[in-house]
Amino acid sequence: MKGFIVYHVHGHDGFYQQARFSILSLVDLLRREGRTDIQILVYADRPKEFAHYPFTQTVFMSRRQVVAWSGPFRYVHRVKLEVLNHAIGAFGLPLLYVDGDTRWLRLPDAPMEVLATPRARGDAGVFYMHACEGALTPEAHGEYYRELTAQMPLLRAHGLDNPARWVMWNAGALGVPVGSEDLFKEALGLLDDLMKTTKATTYIEQALMSSLVSTRFQVEGLGDYIYHYWDTSKEVQAVLRRFFAPLAASGDHERELAAYDGFGWNSEDIAAIRRDVRHRARLVAGKFRRSVSKRWAKALAKTRRGAWAGEG
């Protein structure tokens, strides 16, 4: 087997439909090429939604597990690092993680071969992420550059104290090479320490992973293999609601693959959805819910930081 391609999904139906569509695109490629050497691994709080897909196995995440994996500050992006840490321990390396808001363009044969090749002594090895977003500097991604440099003593202990080597990569994909079994244990500890004081939290996990892997590895992009629609994900969720409406209860991957064949969307579709009043109302409601959630998280973080400050 070449290795595992890993997803994690929990929460509302939109996230599930994104992950199901991404897996359909991967299954379609595997079927067309008559391949059985890549296994799909899905961590989910509703694993039955993926049970009918070939090449796929699931790991159940209870709501309690998701909360625990979000850490002391209830940081949702922390869950991904815990999933990867668990997958490495349970299934081994190499593995390739992708976010649900993706569509496969090609099978990642070359990256999986690179990830599976043991490194020679002194060889930094290759790590894959989705796409380069430029250097982490005071001018570019400055908010996160300042958060990281404010913790330089902590980073120095992990050999990450050279900002000239930091590059911001989109974390919609993470390709982890053999020999990196402890990487996410280290990343989780670093993230928890950063969260004690950081104020800019939205992409701090991405900034941390970017600085960590760009210091330790040669990093390559996966843009030739996946289409990652993070910047239009709300609109694509509306497209996927229509796609899955007649298929929702089918439990028939052959029927879903037939519907997938030739299915797509373009910029005109996205623009039309953005003009739709119901879509705009959903965005406003979602923004309000996220605002309430962020205020709660910040209040919790303040309490946790106070508790830590009072320890010792």
* pLDDT tier at 51, thresholds 50, 70, 90: very high
Q: What is the DSSP track for 278-310?
A: HHHHHHHHHHHHHHHHHHHHHHHHHHHHHHHHH
Its pTM stands at: 0.90
pLDDT in the model for residue 306: 52
Strand spans (E) along 178-256? 218-221, 226-228
Kind of pairing between the strands at 38-44 and 56-60: parallel
Cα dihedral sign for 288, 290, 295, 299?
A: positive
Q: Is a pLDDT exceeding 90 seen at residue 225?
A: yes
pLDDT tens digits, one per residue of 270-296: 998 999 777 666 765 666 555 555 556
Q: Which amino acid is at 242?
A: R
pLDDT tens digits, one per residue of 141-191: 999 999 999 999 999 999 999 999 999 999 999 999 999 999 999 999 999
pLDDT tens digits, one per residue of 57-82: 999 999 999 999 999 999 999 999 99
* pLDDT tier at 312, thresholds 50, 70, 90: very low
* Structure tokens that stand for 4 in this block: 């595992």
- Protein fold of 3-275: Spore Coat Polysaccharide Biosynthesis Protein SpsA; Chain A (3.90.550)
Q: From residue 104, give the alpha-carbon distance in Å to each of 37, 81, 93, 107.
A: 16, 22, 21, 7
Q: What percent of the chain has pLDDT over 70?
A: 88
Q: What angle do CA 265, 101, 166 make, to 5 degrees?
A: 125
- Residue 102, φ and ψ in degrees, nearest 5: -140, 160
How confident is the prediction for the chain on average, in pLDDT?
91
Between 26 and 300, the more confident residue is 26
pLDDT in the model for residue 248: 73
pLDDT in the model for residue 300: 60
pLDDT in the model for residue 121: 81
Domains of the chain: which residue ranges? Answer: 3-275
Alpha-carbon distance of 142 to 21, in angstroms, equals 35
Q: Is a pLDDT exceeding 50 seen at residue 228?
A: yes
Q: Is a pLDDT exceeding 50 seen at residue 198?
A: yes
pLDDT in the model for residue 292: 53
pLDDT in the model for residue 94: 96
| Residue listed under structure tokens 């670093």 | 190
Q: What percent of the chain has pLDDT over 90?
A: 82
Alpha-carbon distance of 130 to 169, in angstroms, equals 7
